[in-house]
A and B are shown apart, each in its own frame.
Chain A
Amino acid sequence: MSLLSSSVSITRYRVTGRLPEAALEYVRENLQQNAVRDIDNDPVEQSVGWTPLETPFQPDFEAASIVYGTAFVFSLRMDKKTVPAKILKKHLEAAVAGRLAKTERNTLSRMEKAELKEEVFRRLLVRLPAVPHVYDVVWHYETEDLWFFSNLKAANEALETLFTKSFKISIVRMFPYTAAEHLCGLKSHEKDVLMKLSATHMQEGGGHA
């Protein structure tokens, strides 16, 4: 989902770890090294990588802007190919028939059929275009705050993995516990209370669950 859409979804993270002195060069280099790879003509199901905000379909960070105010802004792109089951079935049946005719046999072994299925699947992957999904990232490098413009589980997991792989620093997703611990300014004794909390019954006569 794009930062510039009229309606956006945001998952918030905290960056844990320090960038080197030459932060801009470090970030740009690692974005380029982990840029999304085009898989349109490859027998590959998925490709995940970084791409510039302004040119999501030309993943070249040499000329792209990544600094906006006090934030690095770029995008995560996930290209995915899905082979519809019915198309796979149709092509597999044709391939099985062709193999039987060629070998003058009546049946294929289970192993031969599995290998043929994999071969057909990979052949179809080459012919299918990948569907790109682009999700923007705003990384406030001064406050170690990061916003990811998607709430989708798969996209967030891809972000967490790729971010750590790319920059050798990790990000922690903010949810009720982590947000209370990191963003609410609690004193140490309050954090101890937080750790021990249990659910409250809010109806009359209620207490802790």
Chain B
Amino acid sequence: MLDISVAYNRYKFLGHEFLTWLWFMIDTDKENLMEGIIDLADIYVGSRVVLENSSHNRDETITIKGDGAGFEEGVTALKKGAKVTEISLVATIGDGEWRFHLKGESLNISSLKPPETGRIESPDEMEGAVLEKIFLCEKALSLVYALYGKFVRRRVSPDWQSKETGRMAAWIAAA
């Protein structure tokens, strides 16, 4: 077992590759991405993507944000060797919509906005409200880790090198 702080830094790239792969799958093969994930009706990239290029001894950060933002700059950055370090996602699960921001190096979820719940009018309603919120957060966490599981299983398979990287390279070149 690796030391935790060593493992965190050593495998940051895995989180960045996950988010880059996620963007690729959302753009090219969403059906395959969503397959087997219970109640997931749709998923798309939200209003913010952050990329970093650490190749050729330089550290460049490219942030694209704003509703309706075009991601052309992001694609250009990918072509230069950047990877996605943070991404906003919007997921439709059942009838509800979950919006959140995902950071690659930590898999931390921030600004998670699940479907709205009713206001607590009396102390008696506290328990129900807490359970409902746990249920809603669980949906987002389950989704993130289901997607991450799909990525990791591909990443450790021989197909990653022989197929997946080629498909991603073609997507980046064609975009």
Within 8 A of A (CB), among B120-157: 120, 123, 126-127, 129-131, 133-134, 137, 140-141, 145, 148-149, 152-153, 155-157
- The answer to whether B172 touches A204, judged by C-beta atoms less than 8 angstroms apart, is yes
- The answer to whether residues A176 and B108 also contact, given A197-B11, A200-B17 and a CB cut-off of 8 A, is no
- Indicate whether A63 reaches chain B with its CB closer than 8 angstroms: no
- The answer to whether B78 touches A202, judged by C-beta atoms less than 8 angstroms apart, is yes
Chain B contacts of A65 at CB under 8 A? Answer: 126-127
> How many positions in chain A have a CB within 8 Å of any CB in the partner chain?
49
- Indicate whether A101 reaches chain B with its CB closer than 8 angstroms: no
Residue of B8, B107, B149, B169 ringed by the most chain A CB atoms within 10 A: B107
- Indicate whether A4 reaches chain B with its CB closer than 8 angstroms: yes
- Indicate whether A7 reaches chain B with its CB closer than 8 angstroms: yes
Q: Whole-angstrom distance between the alpha carbons of A195 and B107 in the complex?
A: 18
Chain B contacts of A138 at CB under 8 A? Answer: 134, 137
Q: Whole-angstrom distance between the alpha carbons of A66 and B153 in the complex?
A: 37
Q: Whole-angstrom distance between the alpha carbons of A138 and B131 in the complex?
A: 10
- Indicate whether B109 reaches chain A with its CB closer than 8 angstroms: yes
Interface of B is mostly: helix
- The answer to whether B169 touches A183, judged by C-beta atoms less than 8 angstroms apart, is no
- A207 partner, pick from B123, B127, B165, beta carbons under 8 A: B165
How close is A196's CB to chain B, nearest CB, in angstroms?
9
Within 8 A of B (CB), among A173-208: 173-180, 183-186, 190, 193-195, 197-208
How close is B138's CB to chain A, nearest CB, in angstroms?
9
Chain A contacts of B107 at CB under 8 A? Answer: 12, 174-176, 179
Chain A contacts of B130 at CB under 8 A? Answer: 3-4, 53, 68, 73
Give the top 8 A-B pairs by smallest Cβ distance, nearest first: A177-B11, A176-B14, A199-B13, A176-B15, A9-B110, A193-B156, A184-B149, A177-B7
Q: List 7 A-B contacts (CB under 8 A).
A: A3-B133, A7-B111, A10-B140, A175-B106, A176-B18, A184-B153, A197-B156
